[in-house]
Structure 1
Amino acid sequence: MKIGPKAGLLAPSFSLQGTDGTTYVVDGPREKAVLVNFWASWCDPCKEEAPELNTMATKYKDVLDIYGINVSSQDYKPNAERFIKKYGLVFPVMFDVKDEVYSKYNGAVFPTNVLIDKNGVISEIILGILSPEELEKKIIKLTES
């Protein structure tokens, strides 16, 4: 039986280079909470969610980091790059070329959003899309904890 990450457990650590050349890290305590968004360019709910993630990234930038992780084995990089440009993503985007991070988080569906508090502990794993209002409620709860 494979036991993966779940709410209340320390988030699996990772380090990936963003499209901006910066290396982004999730590894234990940090200054801000983080939302890790696993996506693919062909995923219709991901397309629907992208503008809302942009809004949240801007609105909560002082208390929340959003990291977009394209699961590259499930996508075609030029399509992913077009997605980033089309939706004008304002948060860091990384390519999980070998699916190492997606595997660590037992990824199964797109989108998957992992809410991680400032202590590096998973608050919630959200499979699929939420309404903008529900997502914002969860972000507020996460950033106030």
Structure 2
Amino acid sequence: MTKGWKRAFLLCGALLLLVLVNVPLAANAQEAQGAVGIKAGQYAPDFELVDHQGNKHKLSEFRGQPVLLNFWASWCTPCRLEMEDLADSAKHYQGKVQFFGVNLADQDSPSVSAAFLKKFGVEFPNVLDEEGKVSDQYHVLVIPTSFLIDKDGKIVQMVQGPLFNEEIDKLFKKVLN
């Protein structure tokens, strides 16, 4: 074997070794990230944000009734797909379950998100997470992400991805007697 081939062979071997060592480390990091965060049975962290009109809303103001907390953005295609069903379900379950939306306003413009809500007939409260602190607090990695919270403020379930009427009905059976 020539000197050039030996060098290339050693370099390829070193790169392969580097990959083999780092792949398990990356997998463990992802598992650790998944293990960190809000879990069912924990109390939902309280927060206070403003809506499009500047009114302050706290999650804790809905204590005493189940809450569907939904993180979304107007540019998110799955969010667009679910929003009409969320608006319809919010009307259907009015007085039984409180819907509460959190717009990732650090990635969205307030005027665009307000128009988005109007387009889909959304009447339930929506607040602006302009600095992304609440989505970070809830460890929201994808949107839409929804949290079903019971009347005592405990997380019942987290759902990543869009929710449609049928899934919403099944989900609410867990908190409605």
Give me the TM-score of the superposition, normalised by structure 1. 0.90
Match of 1:115 in 2: 148
State whether residues 16 and 94 of structure 1, in contact with CA within 8 Å, keep that contact through their aligned partners in structure 2: yes
Could you tell me how far 1:26 is from its partner in structure 2? 1.9
Give the structure with the larger helix fraction. 2
Q: Equivalent residue of 2:175, what SS? A: helix
- Distance of 1:57 and 1:130 partners within structure 2: 12
Aligned length: 144
Q: Tell whether the 8 Å contact from 1:11 to 1:27 is kept in structure 2 after alignment.
A: no
Deviation at residue 28 of structure 1 after TM alignment: 9.1
Higher Cα Rg, which structure = 2
CA separation in 2, counterparts of 1:101 and 1:59? 27
**Runs of 5+ consecutive residues of structure 2 not aligned to the other structure:** 1-31
List structure 1 segments (4+ residues) > 3 angstroms apart after TM superposition: none
Give the equivalent residue in structure 1 for 2:139.
106
Does 2-11 or 38-47 show the bigger shift? 2-11
> Where does residue 98 of structure 2 map in the other structure?
65
* Distance in 1 between residues matched to 2:108 and 2:160, nearest whole Å: 18
Q: What TM-score, normalized by structure 2, do the two folds share?
A: 0.75
RCO higher in 1 or 2 (8 Å CA, sep ≥ 6)? 1
Q: Which amino acid aligns with 1:73?
A: D
Per mean C-alpha deviation after superposition, the further-off stretch among 75-84 and 36-45 is: 75-84
- Structure 1 residues without counterparts, runs of 5 or longer: none
Q: SS at 1:72's partner residue?
A: coil
Task: Determine the C-alpha separation between the residues in 1 that align with 2:158 and 2:61.
Answer: 17
More strand by share: 1
Superposition map of 1:1-145 within 5 A:
3-27=36-60, 30-144=63-177
Identity %: 37
Do the aligned partners of 1:72 and 1:98 also contact (CA within 8 Å) in 2? yes
In angstroms, what is the RMSD of aligned CA positions? 1.9
